[in-house]
A and B are shown apart, each in its own frame.
Chain A
Amino acid sequence: MKRGLLTAIAVSVGALVLVDRFVASAYLDALGFFFIDVAIILGAFAVILGFFNVLGAHVQRVRNRQTTWPYSLILLLFTLFVLAVGMIPSMSPLFRDVFNAVQYPLQAAVASLLIFFVASAAFRALRVRSFESFILVAVALIVLLGQIPLAAELTTIKDWLLSVPAMAGLRGLILGVALGTVITGLRVLIGLERPYRER
C-alpha cells in the first residue's frame, strides 16, 4: 500500500510538471512552480545533511585516533569557525575574505596541477602498443603540429580532423547521452524505475 502510494505520488507529480512544460495555463504554471520550489527546498535540506555527514565522519576519525586525525581536527575547527563567522552579520567582510583569500586560491592551486597530470596521462597514452594507439599517436601529432605554422597542409588536415571525424563522434556521443537521459526520465515517469523505494 505504502509502496503503491509512493509510486503514485512520484508519477503524478512528474506527469504534472511535464504537462506544465507543454500547456500554457496559469493554474498549471503555479502548480509546476510549487513542485519545483519543493524540490529546491528539499535539496537545501540535503546540503545540511551533507554538512553533518562531513562533521560526523571527521569526529569519528578524531575519536578513533586514525592516522590522519590531526587533519580532521583542523577541518572541524575551520568548519565551525567559518560557520560562526557566516552566521554573525557584522562579520560578513571576514566571511568574504575567507573565500577570497583561502578557498578560491586553494581551488585554483589544485586546478593548476592539472597540467602535470595531463602530461603524465599523455605520456602513458602516447605509447604505441597496438594499431589503435598508433592511430591515436598519429592524429595527436598531426593536431599538435597543425597548431604551428609549419606547413599549411598540416593545418588543413588538422582542421578537417577536428571538424569532421572528431565532430561526428562528438555529436554521436551527445545524441546517445541525450537518448539515455530521455529514456531514464521516462522510466521514472511511468513508474518502471523507482529509485525512491525498494524494487
Chain B
Amino acid sequence: MQVILNILSQSAIDQNATLLLICVLLLIPALPFLWRKVKMGKGPVLRPISAYAALQNVVSQSVETGYPVHVSVGVRGIGQQSTAQTLAGLILLEHLAQQTAEYDAAPLVSVADGTALVAAQDALRRASARQGQGKKLDPYRVRMIAPEPTAYASGVMGLLSREHVWANVMNGVFGDEYLLMGETAARKDIQQIAGSGNPQSLPFMMVSANHTLIGEEMFAAGAYLSGLASHIASLMLQDWMRTIIILVIVIGVVLSTVL
C-alpha cells in the first residue's frame, strides 16, 4: 500500500481522487462489455415497476381522449450537479413524445431552466421528425415557466388547473415545491406519475402521485420503456456496483469488529 502511495505522490495524479480514478478505470471497460452481452441477448429479466407499466396506459388514454400529458423534467437544467436527473427526465419525455407522435399528438412540457428548454424542444423535434412531422411541431409545446422553483410551481399549478391535461408526469429534480403541483393535480383527479432522487420530495410524491419512481428507478426509463441495450447494461452495472458496496460495508463491519 505504501509503495502505491509513494508512486502516486511522485506522479501528477491527485491523491485525493485516487479512489474515484480506480472506480472510473474499472467501470469504463465494464459498461461496453455488458452492453455487448445485452446485444447478444444475454440481458437480465427486469423486475416490474408499476410506474412504467402505467405510463403505457396513460399514453393510450391521452391519445384516445385528445387531452395531452403534462411532462416536467424538474426545476434544474443541464450543466449542473443534477444533470443526470434532468437527463433521466428527458429520456422519459422523449419516449412519451415518440409514443404520442405516432398519433399526431405531443405532450405539453414545462421547464424551469433554459438548458432544459432547448433539450426538451430537441426531444420533441426528434420524436416528430421520426414520424415525418417535424415542421408541424408547435414551438410553444415546451414552455419555460420560471427559473425559481416556487415561481415554477405556481406556474404549473395554473397550467394544471386551467388546461385540460389527462395526466401529469414529473421526473427530475424537485424540492418541497413538488407538493404544490402534485396536490393541485390530485385534487383535479389527474393521473400522476412522479419520480425524483431527492429524499425531501419523495414523501410528497408518495402521497399525491398514483405511481412513484423512487430514487434510482428514475434512471431506468430507457431500459424499461425503450429497451435500449446501453440502458439495460447500465442497470446491470449498477447492480454489480451495489453488490460491491454491500460487500465492502459487510467486510468493513466484520474487520472493525474483529480487529
Binding site for B on A (CB under 8 A): 18, 21-25, 39-40, 42-43, 45-51, 53-54, 56-57, 60, 67-68, 106-107, 110-111, 113-114, 117-118, 120-122, 124-125, 170, 173-177, 179-190, 192-193, 195, 198
Contact = CB atoms under 8 A, between A and B. Distances in A.
Given A22-B13, A175-B242, A183 B31 contact: yes
B31 A121 contact: no
Contacts of A173: 197, 199, 202, 214-215
Contacts of A182: 23, 27, 241
Contacts of B35: 192
Contacts of B100: none
A176 B197 CA distance: 9
B13 A56 contact: no
B115 to A, nearest CB: 4
B144 A68 contact: no
Contact of B113 (A40, A48, A50): A50
Given A53-B140, A186-B28, A192-B230, A114 B207 contact: no
A24 B14 contact: yes
Contact of A117 (B114, B154, B180): B180
B174 interface: no
A54 B186 CA distance: 27
Interface stretch (B49-57, B63-71, B83-91, B251-259): B83-91
A184 B87 contact: yes
Interface of B: 12-14, 17, 20-21, 23-24, 27-28, 31-32, 35, 77, 79, 83-85, 87-88, 90, 111, 113-115, 117-119, 126, 139-140, 142-145, 147-148, 150-151, 153-154, 162, 176-177, 179-180, 182-183, 186-187, 197, 199, 202, 204, 206-208, 214-216, 218-219, 230-231, 233-234, 237-238, 241-242, 245
Q: Which of A39, A68, A107 has the most CB of B within 10 A?
A: A107
A183 B206 CA distance: 26
B215 A23 contact: no
A24 B32 CA distance: 28
Contact of B115 (A43, A57, A114, A177): A43
B216 A176 contact: yes
Given A68-B162, A183-B219, A43 B114 contact: yes
Contacts, number: 172
25 contacts: A21-B20, A22-B20, A24-B13, A42-B79, A42-B115, A43-B79, A46-B113, A49-B118, A53-B142, A53-B144, A113-B180, A117-B180, A121-B179, A121-B186, A124-B207, A175-B242, A176-B215, A176-B216, A179-B241, A180-B218, A185-B84, A186-B31, A190-B31, A193-B87, A195-B87
Contact of B117 (A50, A120, A174, A179): A50
Given A177-B216, A184-B88, A186-B27, A54 B245 contact: no
Nearest to B176: A114
A96 B208 CA distance: 37
A24 B17 CA distance: 11
A46 to B, nearest CB: 3
B144 A180 contact: no
Given A50-B113, A56-B140, A180-B238, A121 B183 contact: yes
A179 B113 CA distance: 25
